[in-house]
Amino acid sequence: AIIIAISPANRKLPNCLKSIFLVKAIERLKSVGLKYPPPVYQMILVLPIVVSITVNSIESIEKDIRYLALTLGADEIQMMKKIIEEASPGILLSLMTAFNRAIAELGVALMIGGNIFIKGGEMNTRVLTTAIQMYVSRGEISMAIALGIVLLSLVYSISMVVNCVQRRWIEA
């Protein structure tokens, strides 16, 4: 499943096709009692976004910084810490991009999760996006709008926190 998630070809495949491959790959693990809720599937599906943007951010760090750190007596671990520190805005960007993509993904949530809700049930798979879609299809627009406001509030709150953290890193 991880190979599917980080494969370069994964960036070019539609999410619904990736979901089918992922379901088939993880299906075997369910037979041994492992459960994978929809958020785990979505994390695996957005992993290529995180990897590609993070790698680009790290590669964009000038080689001068690497050489400077080594020249000043830094060992490999200290040099890597400095590179990650310098690349942190890009790394945060990759995480926020992946988060926004995962939170807005309806097709994957429906395909993998199925929008299952059983009161008091153990295998509930309903997430905000599938609930919004369900209420719209039922014609309960006011409930769909309320859930949409909750979703937007969640996304904006997390974005604001990440923005504050990023500003503090830049100022430090």
**Which residues lie below 8 Å from residue 161, measured CB to CB, with a gap of 6+?**
none
User: pTM here?
Assistant: 0.67
Higher confidence at residue 6 or residue 75? Answer: 75
- Terminal-residue alpha carbon distance, the chain: 39
Give CA–CA dist 111/38, Å, rounded: 9
For residue 1, is pLDDT > 60?
A: no
For residue 20, is pLDDT > 60?
A: yes
Residue 77 CA, distance from chain mean position: 27
Higher confidence at residue 1 or residue 46? Answer: 46
Share of the chain above pLDDT 90, in %: 9
Scored b (16 or more CB within 10 A) or e, 52-69 reads bbbeebeeebeeeebeeb
Q: How many domains are contained in the chain?
A: 1
Indicate the pLDDT class of residue 27, thresholds 50, 70 and 90: low
Domain limits at 96? 2-171
**Which residues lie below 8 Å from residue 52, measured CB to CB, with a gap of 6+?**
11, 94
- 51-89 confidence digits (pLDDT tens): 888 888 888 887 778 888 888 888 888 888 888 888 888
SS3 state of residue 48: helix
pLDDT number for residue 16: 64
pLDDT number for residue 139: 94
Higher confidence at residue 37 or residue 40? Answer: 40
CATH number assigned to the domain comprising residue 111: 1.10.3720
Lowest mean pLDDT of 36-40, 57-61, 70-74, 167-171, name the range.
36-40
With contact defined as beta carbons under 8 Å apart, do 123 and 116 qualify? yes
